Amino acid sequence: MFLFLSFIFPGIVLAGEGPTAQSNAAAIDTVWVLICAYLVFLMHAGFTMVEAGFTRAKNIVNIMMKNMLTVSLGALLFFVIGFGLAFGGDAGSFIGVKGFCLAGIQDLDFGIPMHAFWLFQAVFCATAATIVSGAMAERTKFIAYIVFTAVITAFIYPIVVHWVWNGEGWLAQKGFIDFAGSTVVHGVGGWSALVGAWLVGARLGKYGKEGEVRAIPGHNIALGTLGTLLLWLGWFGFNPGSSLAGTDPSIGLIATTTMLAASAGVIGAMIFTWLRHGKPDMTMVLNGALGGLVGITAGCASVSPLGSIIIGIICGIILPVSVSFFDKTVKIDDPVGAISVHGVCGAFGTLSVGFLAVDGGLLYGGGSSLLITQFTGVIAVLAWTLGLGYIACKIINAVTGLRVSHEEEMEGLDIGEHGMEAYGDFILRPVDALGLSQGHSIEGKY
């Protein structure tokens, strides 16, 4: 802020030239992308509150710490390594090879100033990583989580970005459409969550000896709802911001399809759980909103408003079915439903572009070629993420161990990992022999 300072630092005044239509358009795009990046940053507050809302009071310090770490380490590693792998030129359509620490890429054209572009991509990167946090919550060693986050943000995610969002990547060249990242971001996050939650194992008490499945309710539905609404808000940066241009008139349509899909996800999940269980289910309604948002992310610029409502409703129905499948059939313990929200709805949303894209979708007479391309992209990212994630988790497990001790898990990770409590002034319900809070009577709903 240097008001009236032009006589002191004449250098900061543009050298004698006024604004042009060209410079104004560039400014509009820069302002737009920055503000959208800020909204995506806010999604980290959303993820943090959702994860906290759906888990237990004894693990909240650990959850806060993980989320602070994810966004910070993610940004630093994406600066040092990830951005270069994603956008620094190309080697064989597979990987970027320069631009580490943003050096040596002054000749590349990102449409907007490089640093604004970097920030937008950096907050996306951290988003992919933070999805894992919820699925592995309440039993993962902090150091193990750090290393897994580093692997995702520095390597697994940037490579996928290169494939899809760098024009020379192999999926981009096939014509794969993932406008804002149903697969690039949410697929990578969701499948990493799947492999992480699987390998770290279920929380103590989640599954009984007789195979019974116990619901472990979250400790603060108000925070969970706040988090969901913050995520929804952040998605208005995530999707319309991926135009990378405020001068693109379609940003209004993209925001509208985003809004409608989220709304339809809520209504779909509400009606479905109401019919199935006799009562509308709160956690499924929150996850239904997120499922609809993840689902529309790939096609937000390609489908019509009615198409977005269809995608949202289906995601709202897929979601509780998928949660139940992983929880009861596959028995992978995912405290927040991240696998279903991000992995499953992300895959469905990516495929739905093949059906519902106004330009090229099967239902609009476009034939099956786009659908096949979409399918290829989903499977490629799934295989890449599960493979790399499996190797990473196995190595981490061998070196540091993935999981805290049973004693620490029962007492809560806050004391064990961080030496403090989240809610010092409140009296909490006592914990039973399995580390479950007493007083929870609702069992095994999903």
Could you say which residues in the range 151-210 bind a second copy, by CB under 8 A?
A: 165-168, 172-173, 175, 179-181
**Residue from 212, 247, 400, 405 in contact with a second copy (CB under 8 A):** 247
Tokens of 268: 């779909």
Q: Which residues contact 177 (CB under 8 A, 6 or more apart)?
A: 298, 299, 302, 353, 357, 370, 373, 374
CA separation (Å) from 132 to 11, 35, 51, 162, 338?
A: 47, 26, 10, 21, 7
Residue 8 or 433 having the CB closest to a second copy? 8
Residue 73 or 363 having the CB closest to a second copy? 73
* 16 scored as a contact of a second copy (CB under 8 A): no
Instruction: Write down the least CB distance from residue 334 to a second copy, Å.
Output: 18
* 408 scored as a contact of a second copy (CB under 8 A): no
Instruction: Write down the least CB distance from residue 244 to a second copy, Å.
Output: 6
- Is the CB of residue 133 less than 8 Å from the CB of residue 334? no
**Residue from 99, 217, 295, 435 in contact with a second copy (CB under 8 A):** 217
Tokens of 211: 């195979």
In 257-272, which positions are buried (b, 16+ CB within 10 angstroms) versus exposed (e)?
bbbbbbbbbbbbbbeb
Question: Interacting stretch for a second copy, rule CB under 8 A, among 149-157, 257-265, 342-350, 370-378?
Answer: 257-265
Could you give the count of Cα atoms lying within 13 Å of 198 in the half-sphere of its Cβ?
Answer: 14
- Is the CB of residue 231 less than 8 Å from the CB of residue 265? no
* 282 scored as a contact of a second copy (CB under 8 A): yes
Residue 195 or 254 having the CB closest to a second copy? 254
Tokens of 402: 């993935």
Residue 436 burial (CB count, 10 A):
19
Could you give the count of Cα atoms lying within 13 Å of 31 in the half-sphere of its Cβ?
Answer: 8
Instruction: Write down the least CB distance from residue 320 to a second copy, Å.
Output: 14
Rounded to 5 degrees, φ, ψ at 330 are: -80, -25
Instruction: Write down the least CB distance from residue 430 to a second copy, Å.
Output: 9
Fill in the DSSP letter of residue 421. -
* 211 scored as a contact of a second copy (CB under 8 A): no
SS3 424: coil
* 68 scored as a contact of a second copy (CB under 8 A): yes
* 137 scored as a contact of a second copy (CB under 8 A): no
Instruction: Write down the least CB distance from residue 53 to a second copy, Å.
Output: 9
Pick out residues in 74-93 that bind a second copy (CB under 8 A): 75-76, 79, 87
Measured N-to-C along each axis, helices 157-165 and 186-200 cross at an angle, to the nearest 10 degrees, of 150
**Residue from 91, 97, 101, 330 in contact with a second copy (CB under 8 A):** 101
Tokens of 195: 């492999």
Tokens of 315: 């995601």
**367: nearest Cα among 178, 175, 167:** 175
Pick out residues in 107-136 that bind a second copy (CB under 8 A): 110-119, 122
* 244 scored as a contact of a second copy (CB under 8 A): yes
Binding residues for a second copy, total number by CB under 8 A: 144
**Residue from 50, 69, 125, 393 in contact with a second copy (CB under 8 A):** 69
Instruction: Write down the least CB distance from residue 236 to a second copy, Å.
Output: 5
Tell me, rounded to whole angstroms, the distance of Cα 109 from its chain centroid. 27
Question: Interacting stretch for a second copy, rule CB under 8 A, among 343-351, 370-378, 399-407, 413-421?
Answer: 413-421
* 223 scored as a contact of a second copy (CB under 8 A): yes
Question: Interacting stretch for a second copy, rule CB under 8 A, among 197-205, 330-338, 368-376, 425-433?
Answer: 425-433
* 262 scored as a contact of a second copy (CB under 8 A): yes
Residue 113 or 366 having the CB closest to a second copy? 113
* 105 scored as a contact of a second copy (CB under 8 A): no
Question: Interacting stretch for a second copy, rule CB under 8 A, among 128-136, 201-209, 264-272, 339-347?
Answer: 264-272
Looking at residue 255, its amino acid is: A
* 388 scored as a contact of a second copy (CB under 8 A): no
* 290 scored as a contact of a second copy (CB under 8 A): no
Beta-bridge partners for 365: none
Rounded to 5 degrees, φ, ψ at 183 are: -100, -45
